Amino acid sequence: MKKHILVVDDCEDVRFLLSLKLNNLGLEVSEACDGLDAIEILENDEVDILLLDVIMPKVSGRELIQEIHKNEKINRPIIICITAHYDDELSDALIKLGADGVLTKPIKGDILNSKIQEFLKKTA
């Protein structure tokens, strides 16, 4: 069975490019434009990996991580945060909040591939 990845980003171009790269890896990909849409998908579908933008309207990436941990309807996926504004302090804060990893946008295809493969091994 294909592993399911949910890409959550308020930028349609980012979602499109990430989805294209992930589809080429043979993965099932869903998209959400904000945290509210993501919550609905997470409550209704089995998601293996969540690729999550940190800064979004309505529900931020940080708020979504908190919701995942307290919402009993959600089976916790591996959470990889993506941000264009990386620094060590932000990364540490996201990891403490419950993220499993942090990547900087734009994400190069080889880095995305290796990180996804690394985390997929943990779901096997």
What domains are there in the chain, each with its CATH number?
4-123 (3.40.50.2300)
The whole-number pLDDT of residue 29 equals 98
Q: Per residue in 32-62, is it b (16+ CB within 10 Å) or e — as a string?
A: bbbbebbbebbeeeebbbbbbbbebeebbbb
Detail the DSSP E strand segments found in the chain: 4-8, 28-32, 49-53, 78-83, 101-104
What's the mean per-residue pLDDT of the chain? 94
Judge whether residue 122 has pLDDT over 90: no
- Strands 4-8 and 78-83, sheet pairing: unpaired
pLDDT band of 124, cuts 50, 70, 90: low
pLDDT > 70? residue 50: yes
Residue 41 confidence (pLDDT):
98
Residue 1 has pLDDT above 80, yes or no: no
Distance CA 18, CA 24 (A): 10
Higher-pLDDT residue of 119, 82: 82
**Given a cut of 80, is residue 123 above it in pLDDT?**
no
Arithmetic mean of pLDDT, 52-66: 94
Where residue 121 falls among pLDDT bands split at 50, 70, 90? Answer: confident
